[in-house]
C-alpha cells in the first residue's frame, strides 16, 4: 500500500478586494452624511462682577430667549411642561443642578416661573449664568 505524502499548499488570501470595498463604503458614507449645524441663539447675558467659570458636567441648562422661548439642554419646551422635563433631565447620572441662562431683555416673570419649576423638579441648587463686565 503506497501512501501518497500530503501536499501542503500555501494558500494566501487576497485582501485587495476587501480593502477596496471598505474604502468605497467609507467614501459613500462620507459623501452622504449630513453634518448638522446647531442653531445658535443670540443671548446677551446679564453682567455681574462675581461671575465664575462654568463646569457643565453637573448642570441641566435652561435657556430663556428674548422672545420667551424655553430650551432645556437645547430642546424646546413649554412653561407648562418645564417641571416634568426638568424632573426627567435631573434623573440623568451626575445631573443635580439647574443653570438658568436668560437674556437680559427676557421677561422676569418667566424667570421666576423657571426657578419655581426647578425647585418642584427637585434640583439641589439653581445658578443664574452671568458674564463679567
Q: Is 74 exposed, middle or buried (0-12, 13-18, 19+ CB in 10 A)?
A: exposed
Whether 67 maps to a domain, the answer reads yes
How far is 131 from 127, CA to CA, in rounded Å? 13
Which structural domain, as residue segments, surrounds residue 79? 56-128
Q: How far, in Å, CA of 129 to CA of 33, rounded?
A: 35
CATH number at residue 98: 3.30.420.270
31 found inside a domain: no
| Residue 7 belongs to some domain of the structure | no
Q: Decide if 14 is inside a domain.
A: no
> How many Å separate Cα 28 from the centre of its chain?
27
What does the pLDDT profile of the chain (133 residues) look like in tens digits? 566 667 777 778 888 999 999 999 999 988 888 776 655 666 666 666 666 665 666 788 888 888 888 888 888 888 888 888 888 888 877 777 888 888 878 777 888 888 888 888 888 888 877 777 6
Number of separate domains in the chain: 1
Is pTM beyond 0.75? Reply is: no
Amino acid at each position: 500500500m503506497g501512501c501518497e505524502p500530503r501536499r501542503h499548499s500555501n494558500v494566501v488570501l487576497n485582501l485587495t478586494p476587501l480593502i477596496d470595498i471598505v474604502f468605497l463604503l467609507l467614501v459613500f458614507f462620507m459623501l452622504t452624511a449630513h453634518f448638522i449645524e446647531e442653531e445658535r441663539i443670540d443671548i446677551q447675558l446679564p453682567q455681574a462682577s462675581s461671575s465664575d467659570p462654568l463646569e457643565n458636567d453637573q448642570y441641566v441648562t435652561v435657556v430663556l430667549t428674548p422672545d420667551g422661548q424655553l430650551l432645556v439642554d437645547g430642546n424646546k419646551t413649554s412653561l407648562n411642561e418645564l417641571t416634568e422635563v426638568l424632573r426627567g433631565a435631573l434623573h440623568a447620572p451626575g445631573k443635580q443642578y439647574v443653570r438658568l441662562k436668560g437674556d437680559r431683555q427676557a421677561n422676569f416673570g418667566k424667570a421666576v416661573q423657571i426657578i419655581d419649576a426647578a425647585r418642584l423638579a427637585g434640583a439641589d441648587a439653581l445658578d443664574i449664568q452671568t458674564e463679567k463686565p
